[in-house]
Amino acid sequence: MKEKYIQKIANELNLQNKQVESTAFLISEGATVPFIARYRKEATGSLDEVAITAIRDRLNQLEELDKRREAILSSLIERNLLSDELKEKIEQAETMATLEDIYLPFRPKRRTRATIAKEKGLEPLAQIIYLQQDDIDPFAEAEKYIDEEKDLKTVDDVLQGARDIIAEWINEDQDTRAKLRELFAIKGVFKSRVIPGKEAEGIKYKDYYNWEEPVISAPSHRVLAMRRGENEGFLSLRILPPEEDAIYILESTFIKKHNLCSEQVRTAMIDAYKRLLSLSMETEIRLETKQKADLEAIRVFAENLRQLLLAPPLGEKNVLAIDPGFRTGCKVVCLDKQGKLLYNTTIYPTHSEEKVKEAETKLDKL
């Protein structure tokens, strides 16, 4: 168990280090959440199931983050790509999304439009255009790269390749991805539409045939309903913010001037958003909203079950209940007809003869 995990989780959950450390140890030994909550109160400081579950889940997240961090560092070292600055960024990343954003430009890539353009030798042209200098004519520069053997037959072919490279650079920009991720979370909108021809068959999802709702306020039951409709083939579901807001973020970062090169960069920028960034951000927000909706559904179910379990099992009758235990004794409670606690105590009928008699006396009085 890493000490930094203990301190971080304790700070985040407002718990004592000892509580987190003891709970983490019990979990590592294979103890379940209900067992720890019920039988190891002395070790955890009487943490309930909610707190223990939160420790377990956060511990798993941090362990997975460090495993991924180590894998990324190993990959970069093997390929001689790890600089001191990059290593520091990776070691300071506190979320998986941030870590993956840092690694994205260095990730081994499948053969993309950008890699094909680089193979054709268009990266120098992309760099010239990206600088957006006033005295550069991108069309004239592109003519220098025409090569039928490389399937660069026209100026348009050359510029398209250069834009593909620029689009990849924009897609891999860490700050841009962070800003767009925030935009999707705050201004993203669920857009649900019926699949043409499925209107009759998917009638139970008719409320979502033409439905839009902000991500930030969509209740869990509607999120899960839309996803079920999509999984069953009745609905198409997108999660997107206003496009003009996303374009504004990109323009403020990548458009430096107003000239012919800037026009090429802007075209590449819009392509980067529609073809790469929006899909990547949508995938992330889909996963995040699904996880939140699942947790909320579990919470509601647990609360409903709690009320059911707390209902008087015998109707309106006084109840004396015993929770058996050996080492920690048997817990005894007395409830009135409405389930209100009247009295509670602990007896030890499995200990010494004196304790057995004491237990009998207490029960007789009750």
pLDDT of residue 317: 85
Main-chain dihedrals φ then ψ at residue 236, nearest 5 degrees: -105, 140
The predicted pLDDT at position 358 comes to: 87
**334 close to 319: Cβ distance less than 8 angstroms:** yes
First-to-last CA distance in the chain? 47
CA 218 to chain CA centroid, nearest Å: 17
**Residue 220 one-letter amino acid:** S
Among candidates 286, 72, 272, which has minimal Cα distance to 176? Answer: 272
Query: Which pLDDT belongs to residue 2?
Result: 66
Residue 252 amino acid letter: S
Range list of β-strands (E), the chain = 189-194, 210-214, 235-240, 319-323, 330-335, 341-347
Contact 220, 292 (CB under 8 A): yes
Q: Can you give the pLDDT at residue 278?
A: 97
In angstroms, rounded to a whole number, what is the distance separating the alpha carbons of residues 324 and 329? 7
Sign of CA pseudo-dihedral 30, 36, 42, 43:
positive
pLDDT at 108: 86
Evaluate the CA torsion angle 81, 86, 90, 91 in order and state its sign. positive
Sheet holding 330-335, edge to edge: 319-323, 330-335, 341-347
Average pLDDT per block of 10 residues along the chain, 366 residues long: 81 91 91 91 90 93 94 93 92 93 90 94 97 95 93 95 97 96 97 94 94 95 96 96 97 95 97 97 96 92 86 79 86 86 88 84 82
Q: Estimate to the nearest angstrom the gap between the alpha carbon of 185 and the chain centroid.
A: 11
Among 292, 145, 159, smallest CA distance to 217 is for 292
Residue of 116, 112, 144, 113 whose CA lies nearest to 128: 144
For residues 215 and 289, is the Cβ–Cβ distance under 8 A?
yes
Instruction: Please name the residue that has the structure tokens 């012919």.
Output: 260
- Burial class (CB within 10 angstroms; exposed 0-12, middle 13-18, buried 19+) of 96: middle
In the chain, the domains with their CATH numbers are 3-106 (1.10.10.650), 113-188+241-303 (1.10.3500.10), 319-365 (3.30.420.140)
Which residues make beta-bridge pairs with 322?
A: 332
* Largest CA-CA distance found in the chain, in angstroms, rounded: 103
Going by C-beta distance under 8 Å and a sequence separation of 6 or more, which residues neighbour residue 328?
39, 346
User: What is the CA 226 to chain-centroid distance, rounded?
Assistant: 19
Predicted local distance difference test score (pLDDT) of residue 337: 83
Side-chain-facing half-sphere of 282: CA atoms under 13 Å:
18
